[in-house]
Amino acid sequence: MGEFNAFLAEHGEIDYLDAVFVDMCGTVRGKRFPSEEADKVFSDGVQMPQSLYFFDVTGVNEDILGMGFSDGDPDAQAHPVAGSIVPVPWASMKQAQVLMTMVDGDGEPLMLEPRNVLARVVKKLEEIGLKATVACEFEFYLLDKDMDRKGRPQAPINPATGLRETANEVYGITELDGFMGLLKDIDEAAAAQGVPASGATAEFAPGQYCELHGEALRRPDGQRHARSLLGDGREGQQHLRRWHG
């Protein structure tokens, strides 16, 4: 509870708290709690089906390893990851989100959870004197809010040139100039969530851009926040954002 109270003291009261989990495909799932129940996430934890880590990219439970339908889809206990509660600056209401981690019936980390698998690998490397280090790039497309005449997505019109992007202007600065408002929003949201962002580039296709992000376990936690803010942030933007990888 101390961490939650400290967050409220710094950021003010919230309307909702998202308790989030990340499945094997990188999709964010979880539960949204109103403010009057948010403290229970930290005091009591949350119960969720352990099979959620095995959902496919469409959100379907395929009963992998007999988990889901065959076993009755039992719940497992989950608790907040220390230090992971952050504000959601792009939300229409006052929201926060916290990353959750599951434990098994013995109170040990649930090894179906990708984050716990990574933690075990990091520990084994540390035992032989090695440190796992990663750096992540998030590539995404900006698409015009209107489809073309055939009903297909199309590259956006760059505000800096007034022209629709058609060329592969790799590392072009002018291309970045046109979308600095959006890129600045991304940087500010990343800073608010403690996600290190070190730069942006224009990439190999019209409307394709890349955000660069900086310990092996800390980075994926940050990248989960980064993926969420890039996919969901700034509803008022006149461009759609789609994931490339």
- Identify the pLDDT of residue 225: 56
In this predicted model, which residue has the larger pLDDT, 109 or 160? 109
Q: What DSSP element (H or E) covers 32?
A: strand 28-34
Sign, CA torsion 166/169/170/171: negative
Q: Would you place residue 128 in the very low, low, confident or very high pLDDT band (cuts 50, 70, 90)?
A: very high
Find out whether 46 and 78 touch, Cβ atoms under 8 Å.
yes
How does pLDDT run across 177-227, given as a tens digit for each residue?
888 888 888 888 888 887 777 778 888 888 888 876 654 455 445 555 555
Find out whether 209 and 201 touch, Cβ atoms under 8 Å.
yes
How does pLDDT run across 33-91, given as a tens digit for each residue?
999 999 999 999 999 999 999 899 899 998 988 988 898 999 999 999 999 999 998 88
Report the number of secondary-structure helices (H) and strands (E) in the chain. Answer: 6, 12
Q: What is the mean pLDDT of residues 117-132?
A: 93
- Identify the pLDDT of residue 78: 96
Q: Does residue 176 carry a pLDDT above 70?
A: yes
Q: Does residue 103 carry a pLDDT above 80?
A: yes
Q: Would you place residue 234 in the very low, low, confident or very high pLDDT band (cuts 50, 70, 90)?
A: very low
Q: Write down the domain spans for the chain.
A: 2-127, 136-243
How does pLDDT run across 135-153, given as a tens digit for each residue?
777 788 889 989 999 999 9
- Identify the pLDDT of residue 239: 42
- Identify the pLDDT of residue 43: 95
Q: Rounded distance, CA 148 to CA 115, Å? A: 41
Q: Rounded distance, CA 61 to CA 56, Å? A: 7
Secondary structure (3-state) at 215? coil
Q: What is 136-243's CATH number? A: 3.30.590.10
Class of domain 2-127: alpha beta
